[in-house]
């Protein structure tokens, strides 16, 4: 059974914004995946170019939100008062460029992102560096897309008025 040991850099980005403000801005910049739209396109067996066009139209900053879970409400039942929301964000047209080399990349695509508060109620955005995750496959074409995703994450952070960690290149 193969086992791959890897180093992953978790990037914890301070926002200088309230949790509510950062969450709102993030969700505006990374819209929800339109399940009905894409299910219809799949049912119609459209050309891949139609998928790319629809995705580009929706993913203004390169990413869509596939999943959102707010941890705070259930954690509050144990006496916790800090807010946290987790997301799976990505872009299936980018992911397919890796998928064709190894479908196992879907272990890391979409990317996990968390927006959370610290004990001083400062809001943070945290995620693992994409190039670390996809580089672990040892495939140059997959690693190249992981590096491209680093750049897209940095651009999204700048749009959100957050510092882009130097680890993103």
Taking only the tens place, the pLDDT of each residue in 49-58 is: 999 999 999 9
Q: Is 81 exposed, middle or buried (0-12, 13-18, 19+ CB in 10 A)?
A: exposed
Is 2 inside any structural domain? no
51, part of any domain: yes
Looking at the domain assignment, is residue 64 inside a domain?
Answer: yes
Does residue 162 sit in helix, strand or coil?
Answer: coil
CATH number at residue 29: 3.30.310.70
pTM summary value:
0.94
Span 127-136, average pLDDT: 97
The span from the CA of 109 to the CA of 91, in Å, is 8
User: Is 4 a member of any domain?
Assistant: no
- The first and second tokens of residue 147, run together, are 């590096």
CA-based max dimension of the chain: 51
pLDDT beyond 90 at 123: yes
Considering the domain boundaries, does residue 47 fall inside one?
yes
pLDDT in tens, 132-161: 999 999 999 999 999 999 999 999 999 999
Q: What percent of the chain has pLDDT over 70?
A: 100
Number of structural domains the chain divides into: 1
Three-state DSSP at 42 gives helix
18 lies in which domain range? 10-163
Written as six digits, the tokens of 65 are 């939100």
Percentage helix, strand, coil for the chain under 3-state DSSP, each rounded to 5: 45, 20, 35
Residue 4: pLDDT over 90: no
Per-residue confidence (pLDDT) for residue 1, from 0 to 100: 86
Confidence of residue 131 (pLDDT cuts 50, 70, 90): very high
Question: Is residue 5, in this structure, part of any structural domain at all?
Answer: no
Give the total residue count for the chain. Answer: 169
């Amino acid at each position: 059974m193969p086992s791959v040991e890897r180093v992953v850099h978790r990037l914890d980005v301070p926002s200088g914004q309230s949790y509510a403000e950062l969450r709102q801005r993030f969700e505006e910049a990374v819209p929800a995946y339109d399940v009905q739209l894409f299910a219809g396109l799949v049912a119609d067996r459209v050309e891949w170019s139609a998928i790319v066009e629809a995705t580009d139209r929706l993913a203004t900053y390169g990413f869509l939100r596939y999943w959102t879970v707010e941890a705070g409400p259930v954690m509050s039942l144990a006496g916790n008062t800090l807010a946290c929301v987790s997301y799976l964000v990505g872009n299936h047209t980018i992911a397919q460029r890796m998928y064709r080399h190894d479908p196992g990349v879907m272990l890391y695509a979409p990317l996990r992102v968390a927006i959370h508060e610290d004990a001083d109620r400062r809001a943070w955005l945290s995620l693992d560096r994409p190039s670390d995750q996809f580089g672990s496959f040892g495939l140059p074409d997959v690693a190249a897309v992981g590096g491209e995703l680093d750049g897209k994450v940095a651009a999204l952070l700048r749009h959100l008025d957050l510092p882009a960690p130097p680890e993103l290149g």
